[in-house]
């Protein structure tokens, strides 16, 4: 509770917006029904459950409370605003404690900065500035601005206990409450003996929601939120190289022949064809048959379900609200594949993607998170597909909201509203455009029709009306869907270093320059959060030069034109093989791929990759660190079994045989 830094909450309670409930002669539980107070899309992303605010760390001026907020009532009828997931887990905690005969109630939750300013003004007028400095949190420095902080009171034998001293005296009760917090995603925010770190005295009633996995880690190590975040930052810093070696200039200066082509465009065309023979995930769209056998199509759709194909039950997966996916909903999602309506032979339709769209393993926009409190990994997310990408449309979902499509490098379900259906001749202009731009920045947004921005990732192709720029801009063609049919609009795209007319030359320096444009970007599982995971990262770098890799790391490893196996090699020999690899080579280990930059001045091989997590070890105990960013590192970081990356690598792959 950081509205008042005092042990005598009762002194000023009657003046507080969190006025204490009167002592009740008898306690009668009331139903607690959350109601949405602020509209928020189910697609909302990016709730920061770890946002830090304390006496020395102000919230950003543009900070907005985590949404969606809901209205919650305690059993005395008082209403509070609270972040939705925080409230859902509080209810679970409250109900579990009630079964043990312990009754907790909400006492103080969300306050806006504006309301805090009003309180400061009111109390200054009533008690003076000295009193306010001692007892009232400065606006912008309160955890209660987030909607993630929960102050409770106790109800014992029908009596509400909320005085600070009385609360602290309830040692036996809190000794039963605190061990259950982490299970429900909460931490004890202001711990005894940590006052010099948190800035507040011990408050056994003040809980903070951070999510279950992180709460368990913080609690098991006896950390404050400040200590956890500092340790996390230190761990991230210890992995990510941030000096000059993480810049393109450093490597370009080292590569004396770095701007000499490794492969000509003709050689790249041949390499792409060779990779299509090695990877089932790559498709030659232009020469695909006009029809597909029903049995083949059914197998294609089932294969696209990946791990869900053989799963009759949803397992432990959670929706955006943190609730377990119900069996009935899972059955509906699988049934929506509409397999029983596949004809003996299907005529293929032709479509073009009109905006960046998700390719799903099942035809649903519902999230399937494997962790209710860490919502960055949706197991139904296959990949993201860029605007202007041509697709073969094979089948429709039962609800007709999704289409099963085959793209150049992936198969899956796409929302129908993101597809413009076209005749084959028009469609072919997107398969093999005569004149086109290639997006060469890590991402680019193009404004369309004065109403929306269309997002492109590196390597995306944008057709042009002509090869020449008119003045300072190119005249680009962008697809739009009008009642499901493909239409086209012409938009100007500024002539700058974010786009290139045609593919970039395939050179060592371009592998370096292109890859380092992503440095610092968030890790985006399957294209989530408008970003890249490890395999999408290297795929985008390569396709900016016209090299069309498969989408997933395992398929990329299979498709490499030149591959060096590391099986059975000692660590020193592995480093030797890496040192012989060309700049831009791909280093593979199970579930991960990295792009080789070269050896630094000390002879250490360095890579750039989109990293999700890694492990450190202390006292024989493993700690997992979610770093979730594109970074430069060496090959010494460890997995959960304590195996260094260099020793866990399986092969080194490349398209170019050697550096120029």
Which positions are catalytic? 203
The separation between the first and the last C-alpha atoms of the chain, rounded to the nearest angstrom, is 64
Pick from 391, 293, 50: nearest CA to 189: 50
Pick from 236, 78, 80, 99: nearest CA to 144: 80
User: What one-character DSSP code corresponds to residue 587?
Assistant: E
User: What one-character DSSP code corresponds to residue 434?
Assistant: S
Cα dihedral angle (466, 470, 472, 478), rounded to 10 degrees?
A: -40
Q: Which residues pair with 411 in a beta bridge?
A: 406
The residues, any chain, with a CB within 8 Å of residue 294's CB and separated by 6 or more, are 342, 343, 344, 345, 346
**Measured distance CA(9)–CA(11) in Å, rounded:** 5
**Measured distance CA(169)–CA(660) in Å, rounded:** 75
SS3 200: coil
Q: Which residues pair with 71 in a beta bridge?
A: 35, 81
- For the chain, what's the residue count? 660
Contact yes or no for 362/379 (Cβ under 8 A)? no
Scored b (16 or more CB within 10 A) or e, 457-466 reads: bbbbbbbbee
**Where do the H-state alpha helices sit in 67-221?**
84-99, 113-127, 129-135, 164-169, 171-181, 195-198, 212-221
Contact yes or no for 236/624 (Cβ under 8 A)? no
Contact yes or no for 566/650 (Cβ under 8 A)? yes
The phi and psi torsions of 269 (rounded to 5 degrees) equal: -60, -45
DSSP H helix total and E strand total for the chain = 19, 30
- The CA-based angle 148-149-154, given to 5 degrees, is 135
Output the CA–CA distances (angstroms, integers) from residue 94 to 88, 98, 154, 430, in the order listed. Answer: 10, 6, 11, 57
């Amino acid at each position: 509770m950081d509205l008042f830094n005092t042990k005598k909450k009762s002194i000023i309670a009657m003046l507080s917006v969190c006025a204490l409930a009167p002592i009740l002669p008898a306690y009668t539980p009331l139903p607690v029904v959350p109601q949405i107070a602020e509209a928020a899309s189910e697609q909302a992303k990016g709730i920061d459950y770890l946002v830090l605010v304390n006496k020395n760390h102000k919230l950003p001026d543009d900070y907005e409370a985590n949404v969606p907020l809901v209205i919650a009532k305690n059993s005395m009828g008082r209403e509070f605003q609270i972040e939705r997931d925080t409230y859902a887990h509080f209810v679970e905690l409250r109900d579990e404690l009630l079964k043990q005969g312990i009754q907790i109630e909400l006492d103080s939750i969300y306050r806006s900065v504006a309301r805090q300013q009003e309180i400061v003004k009111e109390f200054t007028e009533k008690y003076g500035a000295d009193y306010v400095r001692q007892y009232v949190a400065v606006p912008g420095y309160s955890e209660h601005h987030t909607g993630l902080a929960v102050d409770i009171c106790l109800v014992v034998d029908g009596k509400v206990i909320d005085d600070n001293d009385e609360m602290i005296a309830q040692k036996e009760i809190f000794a039963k409450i605190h061990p259950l917090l982490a299970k429900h995603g909460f931490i004890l925010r202001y711990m005894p003996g940590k006052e010099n770190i948190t800035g507040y005295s011990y408050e056994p009633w003040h809980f903070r929601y951070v999510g279950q996995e992180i709460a368990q880690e913080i609690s098991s190590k006896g950390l404050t939120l400040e200590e956890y975040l500092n340790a996390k930052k230190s761990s991230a810093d210890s992995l990510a190289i941030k000096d000059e070696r993480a810049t393109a200039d450093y490597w370009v200066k080292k590569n004396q022949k770095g701007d000499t082509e490794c492969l000509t465009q003709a050689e790249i065309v041949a390499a792409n064809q060779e990779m299509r023979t090695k990877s089932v995930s790559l498709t030659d769209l232009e020469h695909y048959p006009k029809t597909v056998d029903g049995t083949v199509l059914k197998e294609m759709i089932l294969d696209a379900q990946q791990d869900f194909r053989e799963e009759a039950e949803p397992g432990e997966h959670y929706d955006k609200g943190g609730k377990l996916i119900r069996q009935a909903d899972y059955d509906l999602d699988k049934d929506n594949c509409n397999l029983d309506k596949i004809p003996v032979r299907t005529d293929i339709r032709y479509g073009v993607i009109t905006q960046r769209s998700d390719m799903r393993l099942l035809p649903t926009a519902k999230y399937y998170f494997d962790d209710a409190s860490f919502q960055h990994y949706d197991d139904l997310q296959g990949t993201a597909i860029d605007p202007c990408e041509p697709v073969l449309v094979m089948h429709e979902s039962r609800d007709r909201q999704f289409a099963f499509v085959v793209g150049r490098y992936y198969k899956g379900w796409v929302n129908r509203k993101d597809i413009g259906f076209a005749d084959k001749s028009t469609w072919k202009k997107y398969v093999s455009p005569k004149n086109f731009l290639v997006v060469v920045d890590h991402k680019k947004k193009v404004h369309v029709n004065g109403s929306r921005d269309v997002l492109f990732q590196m390597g995306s192709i944008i057709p042009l009306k002509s090869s020449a720029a008119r003045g300072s801009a190119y005249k680009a063609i962008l697809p739009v869907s009008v009642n499901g049919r493909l239409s086209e609009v012409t938009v100007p795209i500024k002539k700058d270093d974010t786009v290139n007319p045609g593919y970039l030359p395939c050179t060592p320096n371009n592998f370096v320059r292109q890859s380092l444009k992503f440095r610092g970007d968030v890790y985006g599982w399957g294209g989530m959060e408008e970003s890249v995971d490890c395999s999408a990262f290297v795929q985008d770098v390569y396709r900016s030069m016209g090299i069309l890799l498969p989408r997933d790391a395992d398929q990329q490893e299979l498709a490499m034109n030149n591959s060096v196996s590391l099986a059975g090699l000692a660590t020193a020999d592995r480093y030797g093989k890496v040192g012989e690899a060309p700049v831009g080579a791909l280093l593979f280990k199970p579930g991960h791929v990295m792009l080789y930059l070269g050896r630094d001045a000390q002879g250490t091989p360095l890579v750039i990759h989109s990293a999700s997590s890694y492990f450190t070890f202390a006292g024989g105990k493993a700690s997992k660190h979610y770093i979730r960013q594109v970074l430069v590192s060496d090959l010494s970081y460890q997995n959960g079994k304590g195996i260094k990356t260099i020793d866990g690598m399986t092969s080194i792959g490349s398209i170019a045989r050697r550096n120029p």
